[in-house]
Amino acid sequence: MKYSEKFNEIFERSVNDYHKLDDVDAMLADPYEPGTIEYFLYKKNWIDAVQWHLEDIIRNPSIDPVEALEIKRRIDRSNQERTDLVEMIDSYFMDLFSNVKQQSGATINTETPAWAIDRLSILALKIYHMRAEAERKDASEEHIAACAKKYQTLLTQKEDLSLAIDQLLTDIESGRKYMKFYKQMKMYNDPALNPVLYQGGKKS
């Protein structure tokens, strides 16, 4: 099985499992063995699914401002958890390929495997929701036609991205490329690095 086939299978399972409940507060019931790459990929996509729907909710023009602020903070926490998981997935690949001998002239990629896989996870959600829009019974013909066209484009994008991820991982596996990743080091969530937080809310 190609790398991307496994990734897409896990993401589609997670997306479908989430929408059986369709609840941002539903408990994650990861079906994979804790600590495995499958477990982390499923968890990653579940976080993406919850955040997708939180982003929908917060755009309700009649939302209570207090609730909106709490959701915004929840999205911030989710973003940090998502970033941590992506870095954990990259660590897995660093380990997996740690004994690969680099070929002469091996090159580095502009993004790590896990950040490309992150885009594949989001794409699984886009495909699910665009298909739903293309199948709506209460929408106009124009809306359905436009969404059906976008849906096909997303499927092509999935095919291309899956191929690119397989090529990248195969190149790393063979030593034609090498992995190197830098942690995001996001500052706004760190009380030691965000001036608003370490100054106790005072304006700088």
CA-nearest of 2, 65, 6 to 40 is 6
Residues in the chain, how many?
204
pLDDT tens digits for range 109-163 = 999 999 999 999 999 999 999 999 999 999 999 999 999 999 999 999 999 999 9
**Rounded CA separation 120/49 (Å):** 13
- Centroid of chain to Cα 136: 26
| 186 confidence band (pLDDT: 50, 70, 90) | low
Q: What is the pLDDT of residue 194?
A: 73
pLDDT tens digits for range 64-112 = 999 999 999 999 999 999 999 999 999 999 999 999 999 999 999 999 9
| CB of 10 closer than 8 Å to CB of 117 | no
Question: What is the reported pTM?
Answer: 0.90
Beta bridge mates, 108: 178
Measured CA distances, 64 to 67, 69, 80 (Å)? 5, 9, 25
- Sign of the four-CA dihedral 160, 166, 171, 172: positive
| 204 confidence band (pLDDT: 50, 70, 90) | very low
**Rounded CA separation 69/81 (Å):** 19
Helices (H), the chain: 3-21, 37-58, 65-96, 113-134, 141-174, 195-198
**Rounded CA separation 60/25 (Å):** 18
Say whether 36 sits in a helix, a strand or coil.
coil
